[in-house]
Amino acid sequence: MPFDPPSSGAPDLAGQRVVLGVTGGIAAYKAIELCRRLVDAGAHVSPVLTEGALRFVGATTFSALASEPVRTSLFDDADPIPHTRLGQAADVVVVAPATARLLADYAAGRSADLLTATLLATRAPVVLAPAMHTEMWEHPAVQENLATLIRRGVVVVPPEDGRLAGGDIGAGRLADPATIVAAVRLTLVPRDLEGVPVLVTAGGTRERIDAVRVVTNRSSGKQGYAIAAEAAARGARVTLVTTVPRPVPPGVTEVVTVESAADMEGAVVPRAPDQEVIVMAAAVADFRPVRPAAGKIKKHDGPPTIALEATHDFLVDLGAAKPAGQVLVGFAAETDDVRANARAKLVRKGLDLIVANDVSAPGVGFEHDTNQVVLVSGGGIDHDVPLSDKRTVARAVIDAVVALRPPVARGTVAPPQTRTQKAKETNQ
């Protein structure tokens, strides 16, 4: 599956313990950059290098960049069972590069060194980034080992096409470190919306003045798309109703393209009863021309007088008809009295949560890659999200949605514990 590196922002792997395994391939030098990126993202990185890796890179380099010194052996450590300790403490194990030998040993359950022993001793998720020459990568034995590991739940970040050792060009080049870090992020995302139907709206609606001109707003759809991406990454079955032609986030189930407020109402309202979460991130026009012209209004006729009428606020309808257990989220783009206006809108429209921001503030809201919001809910406790990239804001919104959902909502089973949670509880 493709991994889309999120925008830069606050360290989003803070507190996560990552075992970084490095094996003996020429691409081992790229693991140095991967180690740095993981640490910069806030992760606690425990490097494990195989004997083969030490032929390409030095242990001192990784010890200097990582969160603790390099480990290389099952037997040269004060800890008599380092593989067990590493495996139990890890939130994720990453191997980059993963050689053909590593894939074979891991698939066969062979404990050949500290790294393979750690892989067998962990219940944490595992991310493998293979790298090898094209002929090796395409060999049936390697592909069968990969298929076995994928079937067992291992995440594989496929190699790229490019220049290889010896000057050859082909498949087998280690994926970019940013792509591997993105895979780690996605692997660590909680699957707390597994199978939950979620509808997200995005973008600004456009209301026709004539065949050419429209009344619209400055919404880029970036925040709505980030919320759709976050919900999908956490296992939701996401329907995205959008006015903007942006790339579809990975995992989104259905995309419905609309233009006007009426179009959006026609797409959202019939689908609403089947949704367990609705996030109305779109900036829906409050007004539209009463009589849009069928053709283009000519400039030489002079500026037209455009009479406006209110669009139907169907969010009020959604709030009034909200099924038991459904979480309904609205947005409030304000320029003054943000909290007061947001709380009034929350009550007036029957919402469970409202995401409010001051769009006059620098770097906030429309068209920016960043946002700063306050999450207002019926409980009376506001949660401030400081200026962050929009994926970080989306994460906070979905966290709030999950907290608002009943433990068992409309027949949805509570999300199971992760393998890491089970392992840590077992060993307490």
Q: Tell me how many degrees the CA angle 356-361-363 measures, rounded to the nearest 5.
A: 95
- Structure token pair of residue 358: 């001051």
- Which residues are CB-contacts of 386 (< 8 A; sequence separation ≥ 6)? 372
Q: How far apart are CA 233 and CA 185, in angstroms?
A: 10
**DSSP 8-state secondary structure symbol assigned to residue 204:** B
C-alpha of 32 from chain center: 24
Q: How far apart are CA 109 and CA 106, in angstroms?
A: 5
- Across 79-125, where does the E strand assignment appear? 92-98
Residue showing tokens 């514990």:
417
Q: How far apart are CA 361 and CA 155, in angstroms?
A: 40
- Which residues are CB-contacts of 78 (< 8 A; sequence separation ≥ 6)? none
Q: Is residue 366 a contact partner of residue 414, using CB atoms and an 8 Å limit?
A: no
Amino acid, res. 402 = V
Closest C-alpha to 239, from 281, 206, 285 = 281
Q: What are the backbone angles phi and psi of residue 177, rounded to the nearest 5°?
A: -55, -35
Q: How far apart are CA 392 and CA 396, in angstroms?
A: 6
Closest C-alpha to 191, from 2, 425, 424, 421 = 421
Which one is catalytic: 217, 357, 371, 427?
217
Closest C-alpha to 226, from 259, 249, 203, 199 = 249
Whether residue 217 lies in the annotated active site: yes
Say if residue 97 is preceded by a cis peptide, omega within 30 of 0. yes
- Structure token pair of residue 27: 């691409």
- Across 142-286, where does the E strand assignment appear? 155-156, 160-163, 169-173, 197-202, 207-208, 214-215, 237-242, 254-257, 277-280
Q: How far apart are CA 265 and CA 275, in angstroms?
A: 15
> How large is the angle between the packed helices 177-188 and 30-40, nearest 10 degrees?
40
Active centre residues (catalytic) = 217
